[in-house]
Homo-oligomer: A and B are copies of this chain.
């Protein structure tokens, strides 16, 4: 290593860029979907130095990004530069299909060498189908769904599960590093990353139900909710899910809505669909479906999925 006269933090910065792929900085990046997750993710892409063009159905949400230097497109297709990269982060299969295959979709425009990084939580089926269609257009579809709530997205702390073509994955790695703190590679079939993603949401939902039942039992026995939660989430279950969700559930701190119950049901139903297709019965997932559907039927569809705990409480006569 050479001795340098430049300040330490500059060196660190350069090192980081070298670790990635400096040439990637010259990529034009398109970003579609500026919801509570997409916005901070796009901002991190911009901060990392990429030329960014964004699109959102409701254009007003793009303001913070255009203020920070992003270009605003009027149609999905317009975020794409032929042969470059487009990231999509949209609500569901229908939205992904529309921005990709619709009349103003990116598929035609992206063209040879283009890469579509699909980071939304969608079904394995649509991933497989879009991967084929991109291949026909000589572009590449990479599934790269993320774990983390909006705060994690803002802090560049997402975990990313990825699957797709090897070369394309190498090319987009610096871009992913700009958004997350770790990338887990599940091979060449994009659909697998989507299975991984909904599996993770299944695990979280299951932990929420478990903590809710446990806390309700404790409370009805005169045991302090926060105290028993603390015992578990500082020892055997000392992990982010049990800490972040656990403490909020124990304190009934439900007002910040990070992930709506109705979206959780969508994901559990993706799990159940995958479970059916794979002939792999998942009784806990079936129960979580019932729990979430009950919450939605009782008017809590737009509340945070932590409110599964409210359903548990109601079933025990508590309000």
| A→B interface (CB under 8 Å) | 124, 147, 159, 161, 182, 184, 186, 189, 191-192, 195-196, 199-200, 202-204, 206-207, 209-211, 213-214, 216-218, 220-224, 227-228, 230-232, 235-242, 265, 269, 271, 274-276, 278-287, 289-291, 293-294, 296-299, 312, 314-317
Contact = CB atoms under 8 A, between A and B. Distances in A.
From DSSP, what is the main secondary structure of chain A's interface residues?
helix
Contacts of A240: 235-238
B237 A223 contact: no
A210 B214 contact: no
B221 A281 contact: no
Interface centre among A124, A203, A231 (most CB of B within 10 A): A231
Given A195-B217, A238-B239, A282-B217, A231 B161 contact: yes
Nearest to A289: B286
A312 B280 CA distance: 8
Nearest to A184: B231
Interface centre among A227, A241, A315 (most CB of B within 10 A): A315
A252 to B, nearest CB: 16
B236 A147 contact: yes
Nearest to A204: B236
Contact of A221 (B195, B203, B297, B299): B195
Nearest to A182: B235
A153 to B, nearest CB: 14
A213 B285 contact: yes
A161 B289 CA distance: 30
A242 B280 CA distance: 21
A105 B13 CA distance: 66
Given A206-B210, A238-B240, 19 more contacts: A186-B224, A191-B221, A195-B218, A196-B223, A196-B231, A199-B218, A213-B282, A213-B284, A220-B278, A237-B241, A279-B316, A281-B297, A281-B312, A283-B287, A286-B286, A286-B287, A297-B315, A297-B317, A299-B317
A281 B285 contact: no
Nearest to A183: B231
- Per CB-CB distance, the 3 closest pairs between chain A and chain B, nearest first, are A239-B239, A279-B297, A220-B278
B196 A218 contact: yes
A210 B271 CA distance: 13
A284 B210 contact: yes
20 contacts: A184-B231, A195-B217, A195-B218, A199-B218, A203-B210, A203-B211, A203-B232, A206-B206, A206-B209, A207-B237, A213-B285, A217-B282, A220-B278, A221-B278, A236-B241, A278-B316, A283-B291, A286-B290, A297-B315, A298-B315
